[in-house]
Amino acid sequence: MNWNRRHLLDIESLTAEEIVTVLDTATAFKAVGERVIKKVPALRGKTVVNLFVEPSTRTRISFELAALRLTADVINFTAEASSLKKGETLKDTARNLESLNADIFIMRHSAAGAPHFLSRVLNASVVNAGDGAHEHPTQALLDAFTIREKKGRIAGLRVTILGDILYSRVARSNIWALTKLGAHVTLCGPSTLVPRGFEQMGCRVTHDVLEAIEGADVINLLRIQHERQRKAMFPGTGEYTSLFGLNKARLERTKPDAIIMHPGPINRGVEIDSDIADSSRSVILEQVTNGLAVRMAVLFLVNGGRGPQEVGM
């Protein structure tokens, strides 16, 4: 199916066919990234603004490199050094940048819905790079890409997401993507961070870590989002690690071919043992590698690309 959207704001509003179009387009761009010359002219003459109003390592650098690989000009906006600090509104900031002929805004913001707002006040395309605890669509797309690459399919797989679900935009976007693609999703963590209400999104909820990880094909670990929690949600980090952290003993209870994922940044020794993070079972760095191809695909598609058939440049 052909892509026909100017923005990527969330996974919730995408169809399964649209998600597959992004993944197939990313497959084509991954092949481009394996050539000697890794650049293509798909966005030549276009300007991409990285508008990050919240910290990021992986997403911001990955989007920047993706835009450069597509031959776009890139502006990296740093909120701390901007006139946002002097009281300029987000709308005025973005409209001033658009006046410099920016074509695509990639936005991370602590407020849920901020990229949706921007898409209503700008003519440029907007890509959500994480909005509060709401969604992180490109993370879910690169996670789905990695699962499909490692397992050959997504439909029918058992995927466990373990950790702080309540405050996680990665969890919400993953739940939307994986359930649309036919996976069976189980959520696990402390009851304060994994409320039963998530069952309405089509997932299973359990607070028993062994039940959650035994039989899973994919275990996706999430860190505790301390920056979003307004009160203590569990007694302490040590207790969280002892009850829910992935350690050697728990890993032995998982399927030998289950892959271990994490969107990063990881907290070694908290949600994941350091040795497991670095083990052959972990695909954490492959997720980062795949993020580049997925973000090239997203920039290509929101700029008017229709699908993988147009990538053979």
Would you tell me which residues interact with ligand CP (CB under 6 A)? 56-59, 130, 136, 139, 263-265
In terms of residues, how long is the chain? 313
Residue 58 CB, nearest distance to ligand CP (Å)?
Answer: 4
Q: Which is nearer to ligand CP, 55 or 182 (CB)?
A: 55
Closer residue to ligand CP in complex, CB, 130/137:
130
Q: Do residues 172 and 134 make contact, with C-beta atoms less than 8 angstroms apart?
A: yes
Q: Please, what is the minimum distance in Å from the beta carbon of residue 144 to ligand CP? A: 14
Considering the complex, state which of residue 106 and residue 183 has its C-beta at the smaller distance from ligand CP: 106
Compare residues 7 and 136 and give the one whose CB is closer to ligand CP.
Answer: 136
Q: Give yes or no for a contact between 217 and 255, defined as CB atoms under 8 angstroms apart.
A: yes
CA distance 188 to 206: 5
3-class DSSP state of 160: strand
Give the distance, in angstroms, between the CA of residue 213 and the centroid of all CA atoms in the same chain.
22
Q: What is the dihedral of CA 22, 25, 30, 35, to 10 degrees?
A: -160
**Four-CA torsion 159, 164, 170, 174, nearest 10 degrees:** 20
The answer to whether the bond into 265 is cis (omega within 30° of 0) is: yes
Nearer Cβ to ligand CP, position 63 or 205?
63
Phi, psi dihedrals of residue 296, rounded to the nearest 5°: -60, -45
CB of 50 to ligand CP, least distance (A): 11
Q: How far is the CB of 10 from ligand CP (least distance, A)?
A: 15
- The CB density around residue 277, as the number of other CB atoms within 10 Å, is 21
Task: Give the max Cα distance, the chain.
Answer: 57
Output the smallest distance, CB 290 to ligand CP, in A.
Answer: 12
Nearer to ligand CP, 190 or 264 (CB): 264
Residue number with CB closer to ligand CP (111 or 313): 111
Provide, rounded to whole angstroms, the least separation between the CB of residue 92 and ligand CP.
Answer: 26
CB-CB contact of 170 with 136 (8 Å): yes
Q: How far is the CB of 251 from ligand CP (least distance, A)?
A: 22
Strands (E), the chain: 47-52, 73-78, 104-109, 125-131, 158-162, 184-188, 204-206, 218-221, 259-261
| 3-class SS of residue 265 | coil
